[in-house]
């Protein structure tokens, strides 16, 4: 089974990444899904989405859980029944989860030029004028998007805006592997630790609340 990477983070937090190389049938072997989740995966039209769904169940097993331990709230945020924090992500052939005894978030995105067209919707573009070339710009914007998606998933509240409410503090591309970020929403400000990695043309971010 292609477990791509395991990251042991601070605060008893662990990240698991999977590269999807198996068939649907191979991934389905030994996986027992809740009835609602079985219906959901059977209703997916995309084969990579169906395989991604099952690969996440293998990651859950590595973390000591199974599909019956998982549920989603009305906002679509995943939860574990024992109260452990969890976040889930899927992008093309990669999936990932993060688990820890507190709020957590994770996101994976394929680095693509299309991000240049939507960047103004989630970050102030004047902050990126010093980047050397378009490739560097795409990479940094992808990491910033991942970081904001990570915090959005972690916070789990409707109405939260990437542009207006989430601030990813600046970092040096290719040098810094972490930064901090702030959510300022509904009169409450909270601070988070955010960590970065890049692999195979993908960006990844994970994070949790800053404790000191």
CB 168 within 8 A of CB 144: yes
Instruction: Examine the pLDDT at 131 and tell me if it is beyond 90.
Output: no
Task: Find all residues with CB under 8 Å of 205, minimum gap 6, and list them.
Answer: 106, 107, 143, 146, 147, 149, 150, 194, 195, 196
Query: Which residue, among 142, 108, 106, has the nearest Cα to 19 in the 3D structure?
Result: 108
205 neighbors 144 (Cβ within 8 angstroms): no
User: Which residue reads 């052939």 in tokens?
Assistant: 93
E strand or H helix at 188: strand 188-199
Bridge partner list, 99:
14, 86
Res. 142 pLDDT band, cuts 50 70 90: very high
Listed in sequence order, the residues at least 6 apart from 136 whose beta carbon sits closer than 8 Å to its beta carbon are 173
Over 90: is that where the pLDDT of 95 sits?
yes
CA distance 26 to 61: 15
Tokens of 44: 């997916």
Q: How far apart are CA 117 and CA 124, in angstroms?
A: 13
CA atoms of 41 and 175, how far apart (whole Å): 40
Token duo for residue 103: 């709020």
Place of tokens 């998982």: 70
What domains does the chain contain, in order, with CATH numbers? 3-106 (3.90.470.20), 107-202 (no CATH)
- Residues 30-88 have pLDDT tens digits of 999 999 999 999 999 999 999 999 999 999 999 999 999 999 998 889 999 999 999 99
| pLDDT tens, position by position, 150-161 | 999 999 888 999
Helix (H, G, I), strand (E, B) or coil at 1: coil
Cα gap 53→27, rounded to integer Å: 9
Q: What is the mean pLDDT of residues 168-179?
A: 93
Q: What is the DSSP string of 39-50?
A: HHHHT---HHHH
Task: Quote the mean pLDDT of the chain.
Answer: 94
């Amino acid at each position: 089974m292609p477990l791509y990477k395991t990251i042991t983070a601070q605060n008893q937090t662990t990240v698991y990444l999977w590269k999807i190389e198996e068939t649907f049938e191979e991934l389905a072997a030994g996986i027992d899904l809740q009835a609602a989740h079985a219906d959901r995966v059977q209703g997916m039209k995309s084969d990579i989405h169906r395989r991604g769904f099952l690969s996440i169940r293998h990651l859950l097993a590595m973390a000591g859980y199974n599909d019956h331990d998982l549920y989603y709230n009305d906002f679509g945020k995943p939860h574990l029944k024992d109260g452990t924090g969890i976040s889930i992500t899927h992008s093309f052939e990669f999936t990932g989860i993060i688990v820890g005894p507190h709020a957590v978030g994770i996101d994976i995105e394929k680095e693509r030029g299309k991000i240049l067209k939507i960047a103004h919707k989630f970050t102030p573009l004047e902050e990126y004028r010093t980047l050397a070339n378009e490739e560097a710009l795409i990479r940094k914007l992808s990491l910033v998007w991942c970081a904001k998606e990570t915090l959005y998933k972690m916070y789990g509240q409707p109405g939260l805006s990437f542009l207006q409410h989430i601030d990813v503090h600046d970092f040096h591309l290719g040098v810094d592997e972490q930064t901090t970020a702030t959510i300022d929403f509904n009169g409450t400000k909270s601070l988070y630790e955010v960590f970065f990695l890049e692999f195979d043309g993908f960006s990844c971010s994970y994070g949790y609340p800053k404790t000191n």
